[in-house]
Amino acid sequence: MFAFRGDTVLDPFMGSGTTSLAAKNLGRNSVGYEINPEFIEIAKQKLNTRQPDFMGTEYEFLHDTVKGDVAATIKQLPYQFKDPHKLDKKTDPRKLTFGSRIEKESEEEREEFALLSQYS
């Protein structure tokens, strides 16, 4: 993904503010969200928010608070995600075989295919 100079970049997982810093350095605006309050001070230091720059960059750090029962509020939302898959099995990811791994010591014969394209 890319943005042009003056565009706004959205960072839904802001963390320490690296994306916001890159956006600032490249002349883009940025909006970032972070739920871990420990990262806010790190982002402020990285973005050097206490020292004004010649471009007049403005920083605004907002703090949202959730009032009431969060679980009850989520149940009222019209766009609840219901995952039909139950992840009740414990699986060792090292034993999974994804992709096309070639075993060098395998006796199994390998079958190869080719795609021929002809353009006129």
Answer yes or no: is 65 within a domain. Answer: no
pLDDT of residue 119: 63
Answer yes or no: is 74 within a domain. Answer: no
Answer yes or no: is 24 within a domain. Answer: yes
Q: How many domains does the chain have?
A: 1
- Calculate mean pLDDT across residues 23-27: 91
- Calculate mean pLDDT across residues 17-24: 92
Provide the pLDDT confidence category of residue 21 given band limits of 50, 70 and 90.
very high
pLDDT tens digit sequence for 65-107:
878 888 888 888 888 787 787 777 777 777 776 665 556 666 6
Q: Tell the residue number behind the tokens 């039909």, with chain if given.
A: 84
pLDDT of residue 17: 92
The alpha carbon torsion through 70, 75, 79, 80 (nearest 10 deg) reads 90
Answer yes or no: is 52 within a domain. Answer: yes
pLDDT tens digit sequence for 30-62:
999 998 888 999 999 999 888 887 778 888 888
User: Nearest-5° angle of CA 37, CA 41, CA 43?
Assistant: 100
pLDDT of residue 79: 86
Answer yes or no: is 72 within a domain. Answer: no
Task: Please give the model's pTM, rounded to 2 decimal places.
Answer: 0.56
Tokens representing 37 are 């309050």
Q: How many residues would you count in the chain?
A: 120
Neighbours of 85 (CB within 10 A): 5
Q: Which domain holds residue 3?
A: 1-58
Answer yes or no: is 98 within a domain. Answer: no
pLDDT of residue 114: 62
Confidence check: pLDDT of 115 > 90: no
Query: 42: Cβ–Cβ under 8 A, 6 or more apart, which residues?
Result: 16, 17
Answer yes or no: is 50 within a domain. Answer: yes
Answer yes or no: is 64 within a domain. Answer: no
